[in-house]
Amino acid sequence: MVKIDPERLLSDLKRLRSFGATGPGVVRLALSPVDLASRQWLVERMTQAGLDAGIDGIGTVFGRSRNRGPALVIGSHTDTQPTGGWLDGAMGVIYGLEIVRTLAENVATKHLAVDVASWIDEEGTFSGLLGSRSFVGDALDESIRGATNRQGQHLEDVLEAAGLAARPRARFEPGRQVAYLEPHIEQGGRLEAAGKSIGVVTTIVGLRELRLRFTGQRNHAGTTPMAIRRDAGAALVAFIATMNDAFAQLADADTVWTVGRIELDPGSLSVVPGAADMYLQFRDANAARLQAMESRLAELVRDFNARNGVSAEMTTIDEPMEPVSMQSALAEHLARAAEAVAPGQWLRMPSGAAHDAQVIARCMPACMMFVPSIGGVSHDFIEDTAEEHIVLGCQVAATAAAAILQDQWAKRS
C-alpha cells in the first residue's frame, strides 16, 4: 500500500488556508485578487510535483501528468462562499496534489498518471460549477457574457483583467482520462453521528430552485382593516406552512427543502406588503420524487390562486439538476480502500450537496468520498474536520487511486 506524507499534506492545506484567512474561516471568492494569488501558488506546487500546470481561460487550475497511459483526474474547488470554511473543496484539491507526489515516490506506482484540477467557481460567485462545465464542453460563451457577481463585476471583464480570457481552456481528453475522483468533506453530520470516518458516495442529489411571487395591494398599515387587506407577506407565510405539510407527505428521510430568502415590498413597518418573494430550493436523490414535489407545488399555487385575493406565481430560477449516480466500479475501489485503511469505519451514503463530480460524470466515470465534518457544519467560518480524519481520508483516496489506475493498466495489457 502506498503511504502519503501527513505533514506535507497538512502543510499545504494550511498554506492554502492563508489565502483569504478570516478568523477560523476563509473568504476567497472566485477570481478575486486573493483567489487568483492562491491559484498561482497552486500552479507552482503542482509544477514542483512534476505536473504540467497552469490557469486556463476560465480560471481553472489544471495540472496534467507527464506519464503515459490512462489518467485519473482528481479534483474539487478552492473558491469559497462569502463566509466560507477552509476545507470545503480545498481539501480535495490538495489530496490530489499529495497523491501525485505519493505515487511518484513509490517504485510500483510512479508510472501512473494523475491529473489534478481546481475547478473555478463551484460556489457560484459568477456562475456555479463553471470550471467543470467548461471542462466537459458545455457552450458557455453566452453565460460568460451575462454573468456578474454581487458587486456587479462582469465575468468577461474579470477574466480579461486577469489576463486569462485569451488562454485555452482545459478540456476532457477521451481515451486518456478514464475516471474522476473527488474527495470532499461531508458538509453534514451523518458520518459523525454514525461514528464513521469515511463515506463512499452513491448518488449526488438533484435539486430544484424556484421563486414564488405573491402579489397583493400595498396599503397603509394603520388605516387598512385586516378584513380587507391583500397582504402579500402574510399570504407568503401561510403558503409556506401549507407547502411544508405537502412536502412532508412526499418526502423520505433524505429529502430536504429550504426557503433561503424572503423579500417584502416595500419592507416598511408602516406599509402592508404589496408583493412578496420567496426563494425555494429542494433536493432529493430520487428524480421521480423531485418531479412529484414540483408538480405538487404547482397544484398548491393553482389552489391558492383560486381562493385568495393575493395571487401567486411560480418561476424557475435556474436549470434543474438531476440526481447523478456515482459509477459502481469506482465506488467499489473506494470501499475496498476504506476497508483496508479503516476496517469497519466507513459507510455508503448519498451527497446532499452539489459537486463538480456530477458534471464530470457526464463525460467519464466518477466517484466521490467524504470525511466527517465536525458538528455537521459547512459554508461557515467554523467548518472543520479533525486532522486525523483529513489524513485518514487522503490515505484512503491514495490507496483507491492506485488501485483504479492499476486496474486500468491491467485492462489495457
Please report, in range form, the residues annotated as the binding site for Zn(2+). 77, 88, 123, 184, 379
Half-sphere exposure of 137 (CA within 13 A, CB side): 7
- Cell numbers at 193, concatenated: 453521528
- Residues in binding site: 77, 88, 123, 184, 379
Half-sphere exposure of residue 305: CA atoms within 13 angstroms, side-chain side:
14
**What is d(CA 401, CA 258) in angstroms, rounded to the nearest whole number?**
36
CA distance 57 to 46: 18
The residue behind cell 466507513 is: 346
In total, the chain counts a number of residues equal to 413
| Sheet (strand 311-316) strand order | 256-265, 275-284, 206-215, 311-316
User: What residue type is assigned to position 231 of the chain?
Assistant: D
The H or E element that residue 44 is part of is helix 33-48
Main-chain dihedrals φ then ψ at residue 272, nearest 5 degrees: -65, 125
Contacts of 413 (CB under 8 A, 6+ apart): none
- Residue 14, SS3? helix
- C-alpha cell read off for 59: 480560471
How far, in Å, CA of 398 to CA of 405, rounded? 11
Determine the residue type at 373: S
Helix (H, G, I), strand (E, B) or coil at 300: helix
